[in-house]
Structure 1
Amino acid sequence: MTGLDAAALRIDTTKPHPARVYDWFLGGKDNYPVDEEMAKQLLALDARGKEMAQVNRAFMHRATRWLGARGLRQYLDIGTGIPTEPNLHQIAQRVAPESRVVYCDNDPIVLAHADALLRGTPEGLTEYIQADAREPRTIIERAADLLDFTEPVALSLVALLHFVDDEDGAYELISRLMEPLPSGSYLVVSHVTGDFDPEGAAKARALYRAGGSTLRPRSREEFARFFDGFELVEPGVSLTADWHPELGAVVETTGDDPIPGYGAVARKL
């Protein structure tokens, strides 16, 4: 990626942004008072907010290791968020230095840090494209210039789809992004759920709506629909914290209730 357009870098600090709220939960510094305020309001609903972000991040690490061990060398990560090490490309390129990783996000603050932080191995490729997740055609066209779509690609949508409502085409987005990818490609998704605390999830959704954003927690059944037509790998749909813990990056959590998120990986036949 070269050259940062001044208009594209115009950051709105008057409203909380999901990527910056997530950054605050992960202990990052690329957020603003409005994001911290939103994060603290979410913590009032569930004090394990930071643990949720860490568990989700750890799922991404384990899923990437799992894919790399099975020969995946190309990754398309949509909804990248503010870079927090280790990033997906660092995990993938530790397994195989020649791995090619393309990140995609539409948040100006992510763009501002992309050049400095998303640097990979000389043998591989690490690139960033700016596009909205709800513009799958644009994403695919740009990614096709960087990845070889005749070889399998891992499409990563980690902690993204709960920010896309049904009426905005969340399920259609999956089919439009996966359709151009060849057989043997994989879909990686993690997602927040309200199954264990419907009242708290409804309050969180209202907080995001008041801040000008969408939050759409989904049930286990609704989450599983994202994988219709694909072959789920073991253990199928599981709690994010429970997906292949033997691969490391397991987060110690507090309390007896599960961290409210699902994760799964599936193969395109």
Structure 2
Amino acid sequence: MIHEPFRAPGPGAPNGGRPPVLDVRNLKVSYAANGPMILKGLDFAVGGGDFCAVIGPSGAGKSTLIRCINRLVEPTEGSITLFGQDVRALHGGQLRRLRRRIGMIFQEFNLVNRMSVMDNVLSGRLGYTGPVRSFFKAFPREDVDRALHLLERVGLQDHVAKRADALSGGQRQRVGIARALMQKPEILLLDEPTSALDPKISRDVMRLIRELADELHVPVLCNIHDVQLALETCNRIIGMQDGWKKFDGPSTGMRKQDLDAIYAMEVL
């Protein structure tokens, strides 16, 4: 049964005729020379008002797509334009500077277990402070204040000094959210951010991300396995199957037959 989804601002078309934040054209990826294509020519754009879910069966290429955007996976063909820059043409310092503008939230949380919650969140500023200042915890006061504010915003103000491995899964993901927002990102990329969480915590986490993205005016591209959760929290859906795009439109416009086409080889 498909419930009424969250009605957020409309997708896609950039506001006021401005170019999209992210523009992907004919994106193809193969992990080996002459190997099978994982992505087979994707085209889509993400505008400033988008909270966009990427759904599809296992093996559709969802994680590969997310990781291509900041070159954690190297595209084989096609173009990725982010903030007006050709991502595939960037290397070294140029690529590092681009990545500072991208917030990543992972399914595995990617926290340093032996570090405190506060230090994990402050590590989101590594791209700006550098490893030496970070080692000596010489963060500017404004960074410390921002970290405290974000920890309060995600409900962890009473866990600042705890080690990350002392937290529950939902709390660990909230630390990951705060860390990503410490970068002051201009886009958020989410790779299965709720797959390790139970259903209630998953909904809490996704609604928190949605609220924070709305407050900070940050577009979101989210690979998510839970179709119902995507329909409830995202204003736009990209449906993938076997490396192809099968659907791209507002979540309010998704029909049962669209889901049947995306998951033709799986039982929902």
* Fold conserved between structures, TM > 0.5: no
> Which of the pair is proportionally richer in strand?
2
Larger radius of gyration: 2
TM-score (norm. length: structure 2)? 0.31
TM-score (norm. length: structure 1)? 0.31
